[in-house]
Amino acid sequence: MPSASTFVQEKKSVVDDGKEEWRSYLVPEKLEVLRQLEPWVEDHVLPLLKTVEASWQPSDLLPDPAALGADGFHAACLELRAAAAGVPDELLVCLVANMVTEEALPTYPSVLNRLEVVRDATGADDTAWARWIRGWSAEENRHGDVLNRYMHLSGRFDMREVERTVQHLIRDGMSMHEPASPFHVFVYVAFQERATAIAHGNTARLVGARGAGDAALARICGTVASDEKRHEAAYTRLMGKLFEADPDAAVRAMAYMMQRRIDMPTAFINDGRHSGGDFYARFIAIAEKAGTYTLSDYRCILEHLLRQWCVEDLKVGLSGDGRRAQDYLCAPPHKIKRIEEKTHDRMIRTHKKPTLIPISWIFDRPISVNLP
């Protein structure tokens, strides 16, 4: 998925550069704010998780050999493969990238478990924070499973290449952000969950009845997007509560993260042939062409979060650094909009020839895109 670094090259600092800024969030008084929020998390965040009994499972969305029998399963798989045959290659590539980042789940709880106060220190803590992390992880775990099974049954993918990519991503790790402060991490995850929901939702729309006509894949992607929306709501609520409890700390944390860019996990995918950055530039162009996640989507997410957290309206409790952070945050959406317009105009003027990019995940079939 596109990151802020692709679109906004902002050099001016609005918060202290280096580690001291985010380390100031780990002092006892800042951590106490989080401790006092636990009853609120119990009442307003945990209810966004579904019980296991009420949750969908991958077997609900794909042919089940035990339920259908051998002949029925075979017929259902042939029907699935026939529908998958009409999905364009660029959408298949975006689907792989989304699946790979979902399969990298082992990395994500480890990020939350670095955090003071909110982490699950033993792996079985009974705090509301710890139960959220485990419940969220359990719901997320189904996403990679269902997408992986669909891809395996569809026959459209070189699954060994896809599986190698998953292993690379988990083994190499991700440095999505340096701060080990819940203020900073919740900004990141709220943004990332909304971006993921949009990417899956756009994919569902593009492969559905009015697009490629793959009803099974549309249902899968729409179901995953629905989960991501609930998760987005949880982290957006959490960050909104921190804006109420400590607006100066919250606005400075958001500025810190946006200034240094919010890299999606897709930025770290390594297909075994290209470096992460080299592959990511190609994937951004493919996602933009396919319409699964675009520059406009990035801008809309930032604008949405600024509205949700009422950043422009903050007036009380801001330090000088807080006011500068507020000014910085209220400018980027307009800058991104101008960059969108300039990019569009430049493409029209230059008539740049498309580049053919072979993708290992789809048996080296080339995708034609316009690279920057």
Instruction: Indicate the annotated binding residues for Fe cation.
Output: 102, 140, 143, 193, 228, 231
- Is 269 in contact with 169 (CB distance < 8 Å)? yes
Cα torsion 276, 279, 281, 283: sign: negative
- Is 117 in contact with 182 (CB distance < 8 Å)? yes
Q: What 3-state class would DSSP assign to 216?
A: helix
Region of residue 173 (left: phi > 0; alpha: psi -120 to 50; beta: else): left
**Active-site choice (101, 165, 196, 203):** 196
**Active-site choice (203, 231, 232, 297):** 231
**Active-site choice (40, 56, 274, 321):** 56
Phi/psi for 367 (5° steps) reads -110, 130
Pairing of strands 355-359, 365-369: antiparallel
Active site residue 139: no
- Is 270 in contact with 74 (CB distance < 8 Å)? no
**Active-site choice (89, 90, 129, 143):** 143
Cα angle 356-86-102, degrees, rounded to a multiple of 5: 75
Annotated binding site: 102, 140, 143, 193, 228, 231
Q: Which helix (H) or strand (E) holds 136?
A: helix 128-154
User: What is the Cα–Cα distance from 265 to 104, expressed in whole angstroms?
Assistant: 9
**Active-site choice (103, 161, 227, 263):** 227
**Cβ count near 82 (within 10 Å):** 12
Which two tokens mark 263? 């890299």
Region of residue 306 (left: phi > 0; alpha: psi -120 to 50; beta: else): alpha
Active site residue 178: no
Active site residue 143: yes
Which two tokens mark 22? 């985010």
User: What is the Cα–Cα distance from 119 to 274, expressed in whole angstroms?
Assistant: 35
Active site residue 228: yes
Which two tokens mark 42? 């119990």
Active site residue 161: no
User: What is the Cα–Cα distance from 65 to 71, expressed in whole angstroms?
Assistant: 9
Q: Token pair 């000088």 is at which residue?
A: 320
Catalytic residues: 56, 102, 140, 143, 193, 196, 227-228, 231
